Structure 1
Amino acid sequence: MSETATGAEATGTTAAGNNSFVVVANRLPVDMILEPDGTKSWQESPGGLVSALSPVLEKHQGCWVGWPGVADEAPEPFRTERGVLLHPVELTHYDYEEFYEGFSNATLWPLYHNLIVTPEFNRSWWDAYRDVNLRFATEVATVAAPNATVWVQDYQLQLVPGILRQIRPDLTIGFFLHIPFPPSEIYRQLPWRDEILRGLLDADLIGFHLEANVRNFVELCRAYDLEVSGEIKIREAGITITAANGHEIGVGVFPISIDTSAIAATLAANSHHEAHEELEQIHRDMGSPSTVFLGVDRLDYTKGILQRLLAFEELLDSGALDPSEVALVQLATPSRERIDSYRITRSKVEEAVGRINGRFAQIGRPVVHYQHRSVTKDVLLRYYRLADIMLVTPFRDGMNLVAKEFVATRADSSGALVLSEFAGAADELDQAHLCNPFDIEDIKKAMLQATWGLDDNPEAMKERMSAMYNQVIEHDVDLWANSFLGALDKSRP
């Protein structure tokens, strides 16, 4: 779908403030397209979150508020093909550098991921974070109908619930954190810890992926002498926290998942003979390896890409894996490349790829196939089907939907998953070959267990994959959205 950003009708709808359900996230699900004649248009960018929320947005005359992804550019509000109203918030280059690259991703991201790299505490970044959160909240207040429900998404917008509570006390406000929440002693290193906690505690419901995240948040609230009651529940607001002003906040575990029906539909559409031949051709082009390992990650220091490459290299070096029989495909999506820690990560990863291929590849047949660019969903699903063993080894991850996407392509129960025990998905996909991503020996052990299992005990491996497949199919993204919004509705005053 392509939409030119000139929608008078949509603009009028937005101004009227009659949207009973509003989603607010850092990014809108759109991409800017530069046409050959120099004009700009905006294309809907499909994803798990928009797929989950679109039916709810349509049902309730919903509106999605967010940044369109390009600095100093924003279309007029317009509707997607599904009828969802997209309301852009324009950010300047300064906002992008200070709010997004700075405070969000060089302060909060490393802090919330348990200090994998050292966070930077920069006061001008904080000022930008506060200002941008105010801008988002103001836009939401403009588009939301009286007594509307607002669902705020993720760490970039943690002040929005508090600001909205002040300017629109009639709203019911939910907040969901898509990344881990750190232990109290780590969170409290943040100089602006009080302001962010106050912002969160003006929500009516706060959702996390894992029980461990809820425990960390509850521990923090107790450190502030707040009253905590109830017990942790899955897909329910089992915990109640009473803020200093008497406001009660529900807290629960709501594990996010994927749009399994969309994956199944794409796989069905690509089940024809030509698609199968194309997959076999890719395999032949790789040298027809007997075992294909696959990694799919943003090129982020939390993802453990270098450690899995080092583990692969050591297995080749020891002879445990034969370089003429195996291949590793690493798809590394560019991410935050102007931040020093990300540039360093890319340099180390690409150095390792070059060294491994220099040592073990044959002319015309790399042993590591590395790609540093984004791929379409169709291409990604093709690689999922090509792989024998998926490698998902982050140091820390809120959930990791790549692991679930791979499993969802395995209706035939084939293949194996090597999964970090510190990925949120490990709580649900416990039939994977779990490993400690900080321990290269443990990664090697899990890779070999998966490899040998496929060769020597295929029936047991099918049972493991079948259990994970059923778990993912039964607990899809619709269940995540519906359970959170159902709990939020119960919290409505």
Structure 2
Amino acid sequence: MSTAEFVVVANRLPVDRIFSADGEEQWRTSPGGLVAALEPVMQSVDGAWVGWAGQPDLEIEPFVFDGIRLMPIALSEQDVEEYYEGFANDTIWPLYHDVIAPPQYHREWWDAYVRVNRRFAEAAADTVERGGTVWVHDYQLQLVPQMLRELRGDVTIGYFHHIPFPAHGLYAQLPWRDQVLRGVLGADVIGFQRAQDATYFLTAVRRRLGFAVKGSSVAVVDDDGSERHVTARAFPISIDTAPYLELAARPDVRQRAAEIRASLGNPKKILLGVDRLDYTKGIRHRIKAFGELLDQGHLSVQDVCFVQVASPSRERVDAYMHLRDEIEVAVARINGTHDTMDHTAIRYLHQGYPREEMVALYLAADVMLVTALRDGMNLVAKEYVATRADNRGVLVLSEFTGAADELRQAVRVNPHDIEGVKEAIMTAVQMPEAEQSRRMRSLRKRVLENDVTAWSSSFLGALERARSEHVRPEAE
């Protein structure tokens, strides 16, 4: 395949490999925030996407899907176990999420992380045209920017960090802390979800590497002694609002929302949680709070039903298997105590759903519970808001999500405070329609104005300024 002017590098390709009933290989667009955010961008430029196809030991030639050139990276079973499940998801993920679960530090995992990051960097270097732009995404690939810079000094490099970045006292635990910082600093522009995350990163850079930091600019001294300036600041990600607006207006989707309410016994209020099954999402905390409200008689199953969608996630990692067991035991206890023949307290759904069904759920829900213990952004909160053209519904939002910086008219909550979560649920359930409308109008204005196009334009604009300010050594 020919080279591309603009290249995205992410752990996963934006497609999933599936097989039809007759065994024919097919590809479909992946669910998930990153794909939804970048798909409109990729389709508007001469773009290519470097990523893993999601299955080990799968060798695939480059191909085109939905107008995007895809460059698959092969990972062995050992790569998946050590680089992905190991270092990315059992070292970096818990460390960067405030050590909610203890991180594991293994040297062989780090070696695999270096090895696989180099493979991604080499593929990007082979894919991008002379003087082009490469946008690297997320914590699985923190070493790629520096590796790519060493291979291709002529390209402009961006890096966007989708998850939180930890305070220095936590980050300093990482045995390979300086290497990771240098890896990320290979980029010209580094983006974070929150200003707080950028501040934590800049603090680590100043304290660990001794580079001068002024505002959002870092004076990076490379190994050859040359100095260049790197921008590191918040670029809060958002959603492509158009599909959610269109689906929310469709008669069949609205009819499905009514069917969902009827299937739940037409309760007065439906509470909804939608998450990947992950210990950072605060699912146990909200289930506990809801159960106590039932135990204490503040809510009844005849009036209120809680629907929790928990899509499968990292099912081979021990912490996730334990989490699933804990949640299912808690749900069974609450339902066993409070269910009637006609009403269920918690409808727990450990599966994923297509976007149409999710929008129907958003329309059916009177209260959206987003109680993450730590989250980079949380796009589900924005999806819920986007669908509520009727200006009804209440968003209960953890103050530890990136979305909390923007969605200030939500009912904010500290998810560690179970009494506070209970109070927030009661506030949401009892909120008058006039107040719902006032809050939701403000939330929708923010989400619709600051959509994914605004996000990508902002980041790519910063990259273009970086390109114009720097003379590339191989492009003089």
**Kindly, what percent of the aligned residue pairs are identical?**
48
Which of these residues, 135, 143, 150, is aligned with residue 134 of structure 2?
Answer: 150
**Pair 1:43-2:24 in alignment:** no
**One-letter amino acid of the structure 1 residue matched with residue 18 of structure 2:** I
Q: Secondary structure at the match of 1:303?
A: coil
Amino acid at match of 1:464: R
1:440 maps to: 418
What secondary structure, in the 3-state scheme, does the structure 1 residue paired with 2:88 have? Answer: helix
1:435-458 deviation digits (Å, cap 9, x = unpaired)? 1111100100111111111xxx32
Shift of 1:84: 1.1
2:388 pairs with one of 410, 428, 432: 410
Match of 1:8 in 2: none
Is 2:109 the partner of 1:128?
no
Quick check: 1:179–1:399 contact (8 Å CA) kept in 2? Answer: yes
Is 1:300 the counterpart of 2:278 in the alignment? yes
Q: Supply the AA of the counterpart residue of 1:463.
A: R
CA displacement at 1:59 relative to structure 2: 4.6
String of CA shifts for 1:272-298, please: whole Å, max 9, x gaps. Answer: 2x5443322221111111010000000
Q: Distance in 1 between matches of 2:41 and 2:257?
A: 37
TM-score by length of structure 1 reads: 0.91
Match of 2:248 in 1: 267
- The answer to whether the 8 Å contact 1:68/1:74 transfers is no
Does residue 483 (structure 1) correspond to residue 464 (structure 2)? The answer is no
* Per-residue deviation, residues 29-82 of structure 1 (Å, max 9, x unmatched): 11111233333222233655445434543454210000111112243211122x
Q: Distance in 2 between matches of 1:101 and 1:276?
A: 39
Letter in 2 for 1:474: E
Q: Determine which of 207, 231, 236 is the counterpart of 1:250.
A: 231
Find the aligned partners of 1:294 and 1:39 in 2 and give their Cα distance.
Answer: 37
- Please name the residue that 1:161 is paired with: 145
1:136-182 Cα offsets, whole Å, 9 max, x none, are 01111111111110000000000001111111111111000000000
Deviation per CA, 1:72-112: give whole Å up to 9, x if none. 2243211122x211111111111111111100000000000
User: In 2 relative to 1, CA 398–369 (structure 1 residues): closer, same or farther, beyond 3 Å?
Assistant: same
**Match in the other structure for 1:280:** 258
1:226 deviates by: 3.1
Deviation at residue 224 of structure 1 after TM alignment: 2.8
> Is the 1:226–1:243 Cα contact (8 Å) retained in structure 2?
no
Aligned residue type for 2:465: K
Name the CA shift for 1:62/1:442 in 2 (closer, same or farther; >3 Å). Answer: same
Moved more, 100-109 or 239-248: 239-248
Inter-CA distance 378–318: structure 2 relative to 1 (3 Å threshold): same
Cα distance in 2 for partners of 1:325, 1:85 equals: 51
Does residue 424 of the first structure (1) align with residue 402 of the second (2)? yes
Does the 8 Å contact 2:254/2:360 carry over to 1?
A: no
| 8 A contact 2:301–2:344 mirrored in 1 | no
What is the rounded CA distance, in whole Å, between the counterparts of 2:113 and 2:203 in structure 1? 25
For 2:405, give the aligned amino acid.
Answer: D
Which of 325, 330, 340 aligns to 1:362? It is 340
CA drift at 1:299 = 0.5
**Letter paired with 1:349:** I
Which consecutive residues of structure 2, in runs of 5 or more, have no partner in the other structure?
Answer: 471-476
TM-score, L = length of structure 2: 0.95
**Any idea what the Cα deviations from partners look like across 1:114-152, whole Å, max 9, x if unmatched?**
110110001111111111001101111111111110000
SS of the residue 1:42 aligns to = strand
CA, structure 1 residues 248+304, in 2 after alignment: closer, same or farther (shift >3 Å)?
same
Instruction: Tell me, yes or no, if structure 1 residue 70 matches structure 2 residue 55.
Output: yes
Residue identity opposite 1:381 in structure 2: V
What residue identity is the alignment partner of 1:62? G
- In the alignment, what sits opposite 1:103? 87
**What is the distance in 1 between the residues matched to 2:391 and 2:36?**
25
Alignment of 1:210-249 (within 5 A): 210-224=194-208, 226-231=210-215, 238-243=216-221, 245=225, 246-249=227-230
Q: How far apart, CA to CA, are the structure 2 residues paired with 1:447 and 1:305?
A: 14
**What is the CA RMSD across the aligned residues, in angstroms?**
1.5
Encode CA deviations 1:173-195: one digit per residue, 9 max, x unaligned. 10000000001111111001111
Matched residue of 1:329: which SS? strand
Whether the 8 Å CA contact 1:182–1:213 is kept in 2: the answer is yes
Residues 254 and 480 in structure 1, CA contact (< 8 A), matched pair in contact too: yes
Structure 2 letter corresponding to 1:174: G
Partner of 1:235: none
Q: What is the number of residues matched between the two proteins?
A: 465
Q: Any conservation in 1 of the 2:33–2:379 contact (CA below 8 Å)?
A: no
Residue 377 (str. 1) matches residue 355 (str. 2):
yes
Alpha-carbon spacing, 1:50–1:282, altered in 2? closer, same or farther (3 Å)? closer
* Most deviating of 56-65 and 178-187: 56-65
The 3 A distance-change label for structure 1 pair 39 and 107 is same
Task: Look up the match of 2:474.
Answer: none
Query: Is 1:393 matched up with 2:371?
Result: yes
Shift of 1:260: 0.5
Work out whether 1:115 is the aligned partner of 2:99.
yes
Given candidates 428, 434, 437, the residue that maps to 1:459 is 434
3-state SS of 1:302 partner:
coil
Query: What do residues 380-423 of structure 1 show as CA deviations (whole Å, max 9, x unaligned)?
Result: 11100000000000100000000010011111110101111101
- Aligned counterparts of 2:280 and 2:32: Cα–Cα separation in 1: 22
Of 350, 364, 389, which aligns to 2:328?
350
Quote the Cα distance in structure 2 between the aligned partners of 1:426 and 1:36: 44
Q: Is the 8 A contact 1:291 1:325 kept in 2?
A: yes
> What are structure 1's unaligned runs of at least 5 residues?
1-11, 232-237
